[in-house]
Amino acid sequence: MTIDVRQAATLSAPFRQYNPGVSAAQLANAFGGGAVAHEGQHQLDYLATGYPMDRKSEHATEMNAYRTELGVAKGLGISNDLYAPGALQKDVDARVNQVADVSTAVWCMSNGC
């Protein structure tokens, strides 16, 4: 896995408006930490259950990865597109499912499902 911290800074910029008082560098680090957690969770899933072979198994690993990613944001008290302090759990769950659906669709385009 290659991590480009310059991309983390660029990709985290939209979340500045939701995180007053948090520096751009702190936000980039949090975003990068979430990305590492997300991709790391995929690797753990692959070790446990193998590489996904269909839409259902890919969606399951995406759900796990996004839940792990939001745990980093939550732990750091950072608002992002998955988590905002004080958000209702049903809204967080719906957002995680939504982004997992999008990621699964992208995976399926490359893997023929």
Cα–Cα dist 108/113, whole Å: 5
Both tokens assigned to 23: 């520096």
One-letter amino acid at 60 equals A
67-100 tens-digit pLDDT: 999 999 889 988 888 877 788 889 999 999 999 9
Cα–Cα dist 103/111, whole Å: 12
38-64 tens-digit pLDDT: 999 999 999 999 999 999 999 999 999
pTM above 0.75, yes or no: yes
Both tokens assigned to 42: 């995929």
**Domain chopping of the chain, boundaries:** 7-111
Cα–Cα dist 79/74, whole Å: 8
